[in-house]
């Protein structure tokens, strides 16, 4: 699953036009070079946090073992867009409803992504191409508790700045800074 969020309402959080094309390029890489084919879902400019979490739950369910495929699969979650620092310095991922850098009510808490991946019956892979991506796993914070008590593996975090600073992408940029390196 690849999420790209580039549009935001109002003028308190600038649009990130490169996010959706970067997400689409990343999805194409997963399809062709990683052999994931039509199993890759791209979600562009999700309207709400619940839209992202529902799609992640579906992706995790599709990767779970079945009678035809008894071994567990891999559930990949990639996010390209604005990252926000919420209360306690926690990471939130912006949706198309996020209005500002402090609007965590309309953003996906990273802790929920971690919980969904930790509860999945599949092996999780996480790629974040956003500001404050370093806040995904702060050294003093334990991983989210999950039903399975299986820790979520380290995230593949793309950031060219420390966790406490933004990594701005100019509006004219054709892609975000990290997605081309992953592709």
pLDDT, tens digit (0-9, with 9 covering 90-100), for 115-124? 998 888 888 8
What does the alpha-carbon distance between residue 18 and residue 5 come to, in Å, rounded to a whole number?
A: 9
Residue 120: per-residue pLDDT: 84
What lies within 8 Å, CB to CB, of 67 at 6+ separation is: none
Residue 155: per-residue pLDDT: 46
Residue 65: per-residue pLDDT: 82
Is the separation of the CB atoms in 82 and 95 below 8 Å? Answer: no
Candidates 8, 5, 45; CA nearest to 128 is 5
Give, for all 183 residues of the chain, the pLDDT tens digit.
999 999 999 899 999 999 999 999 999 999 998 888 898 999 999 999 999 999 999 999 888 888 887 787 888 899 999 999 999 889 999 999 999 999 999 999 999 998 998 888 888 888 888 888 777 765 455 544 444 445 555 445 555 445 555 555 555 455 555 555 555
What lies within 8 Å, CB to CB, of 61 at 6+ separation is: none
Question: Which fold does the domain 2-182 belong to in CATH?
Answer: Rossmann fold (3.40.50)
Residue 110: per-residue pLDDT: 93
Condensed to tens digits (0 to 9), the pLDDT of residues 13-43 reads 999 999 999 999 999 999 998 888 898 999 9
């Amino acid at each position: 699953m690849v999420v790209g969020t580039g549009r935001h309402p109002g003028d308190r959080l600038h649009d990130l036009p490169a996010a959706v094309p970067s997400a689409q390029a990343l999805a194409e890489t997963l399809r062709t070079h990683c052999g994931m084919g039509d199993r890759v879902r791209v979600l562009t400019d999700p309207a709400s946090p619940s839209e992202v979490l529902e799609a992640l739950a579906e992706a995790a369910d599709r990767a779970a073992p079945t009678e035809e495929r008894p071994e567990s699969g891999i559930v990949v979650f990639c996010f390209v867009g604005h990252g926000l620092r919420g209360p306690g310095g926690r990471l939130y991922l912006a949706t198309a409803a996020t209005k500002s850098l402090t609007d965590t009510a309309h953003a996906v808490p990273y802790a929920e992504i971690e919980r969904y991946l930790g509860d999945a019956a599949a092996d999780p892979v996480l790629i974040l191409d956003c500001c404050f991506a370093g806040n995904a796993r702060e050294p003093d914070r334990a991983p989210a508790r999950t039903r399975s008590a299986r820790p979520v593996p380290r995230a593949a975090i793309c950031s060219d700045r420390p966790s406490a600073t933004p990594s701005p992408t100019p509006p004219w940029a054709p892609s975000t800074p990290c997605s081309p390196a992953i592709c």
